[in-house]
Amino acid sequence: MFVVLFRMAYTQVHLVTKEIQNVAMALYPYLPLWIIDKLVLLMCAVVFGDTARYGLRRPSLGPFTMKDTTSSYPVFDVGTYAKIRTGEIRVFPAALKSVCGNIVELMDGKCHPFDAIVFATGYRSTVRKWLKAEDGLIGNDAMAARRYPEHWKGENGLYCAGMVRRGVYGSGEDAKLIADDISMLLRPREKQGDTSKLGHAHRNGS
């Protein structure tokens, strides 16, 4: 039997399937977030039922509103939930208090032995440690300082993509904006190069 332990911050999660996520991403450019949230939660209710019965409570904030306003994302289910329902995987919502050998003590005072312990610590941007830029592009949390859609372009050719917590779709949108901007900057140089070549050819012809 596998056991899942949650830190306090992760006792509430939005569980979604890949198919539900794909539908939501297709609607992302056309509908406001609150409508997408309601549609996603309706589909999740049909697919998963009440996940709180198995220790997976959903946040009060909708999955895509949460994604756009915090660093938390919906969690893809790849078959794990079925194993939780059958008891093959057990969820302990209580936070971790201490570890001594193979014994884990939880905040509720209960202790459990484990064969293996895996710490999933999550991701934290370290951009501020190696990028020294004072143009206001990167904030103190090492993510984009400016709000969408003014977040992606800084000074002196500095850009950032995927750092405004808008997921894969937002990263793709950032990449296109950056590519278009670089293309516009290079276009005058290309025209200037073509003009120089034309003048050189004219002199050679004369």
| Predicted confidence (pLDDT) per residue in 69-113, tens digit | 776 778 889 888 998 888 888 887 777 788 888 888 888 888 888
Question: For residue 163, is it within any domain?
Answer: yes
Question: For residue 8, is it within any domain?
Answer: yes
Count how many domains the chain has.
2
Confidence of residue 37 (pLDDT cuts 50, 70, 90): very high
Give strand pairing partners of 111: 105
For 41-66, what is the mean pLDDT?
90
Question: For residue 175, is it within any domain?
Answer: yes
Residue 171 CA neighbour count, 13 Å, CB half:
6
Say if residue 96 is in the same domain as residue 6.
yes
Strands (E), the chain: 2-5, 15-16, 75-76, 89-92, 96-100, 103-106, 111-113
Which of the pair, 192 or 55, is modelled with greater confidence? 55
Question: For residue 149, is it within any domain?
Answer: yes
Q: 89-92 and 75-76: which strand pairing?
A: unpaired
Which of the pair, 190 or 62, is modelled with greater confidence? 62
Predicted pLDDT at 189: 63
Say if residue 97 is in the same domain as residue 161.
no
Burial class (CB in 10 A: 0-12, 13-18, 19+), 43: middle
Question: For residue 120, is it within any domain?
Answer: no
Say if residue 6 is in the same domain as residue 108.
yes
Residue 136 CA neighbour count, 13 Å, CB half:
4
Predicted pLDDT at 38: 95
Say if residue 16 is in the same domain as residue 70.
yes
Say if residue 103 is in the same domain as residue 7.
yes
For 158-164, what is the mean pLDDT?
83
Q: Put residue 87 in one of left, alpha, beta given phi > 0 → left and psi -120 to 50 → alpha.
A: left
Say if residue 88 is in the same domain as residue 167.
no
**Continuous H helices in 49-94:** 63-69, 80-86
Predicted pLDDT at 128: 77
Strands (E), 116-205: none
Give the span between the Cα atoms of 39 and 160, in whole angstroms. 31
| Inter-CA distances, 153 with 162, 169, 175, 182, Å | 12, 18, 11, 11
Say if residue 136 is in the same domain as residue 168.
yes
For 161-178, what is the mean pLDDT?
81
Last residue within a domain, chosen from 78, 113, 148:
113
Last residue within a domain, chosen from 113, 138, 173:
113
Q: Which domain range does residue 185 map to?
A: 127-205
Say if residue 77 is in the same domain as residue 163.
no
Query: What is the identity of the amino acid at 86?
Result: T
Question: For residue 134, is it within any domain?
Answer: yes
- Token pair 């103190």 in the structure block, residue: 140
pLDDT digits (tens, 9 = 90+) for 41-52: 999 999 999 988
Predicted pLDDT at 117: 74
Say if residue 98 is in the same domain as residue 69.
yes
Question: For residue 121, is it within any domain?
Answer: no
Cβ atoms 162, 173 nearer than 8 A: no
Say if residue 98 is in the same domain as residue 146.
no
Question: For residue 81, is it within any domain?
Answer: yes
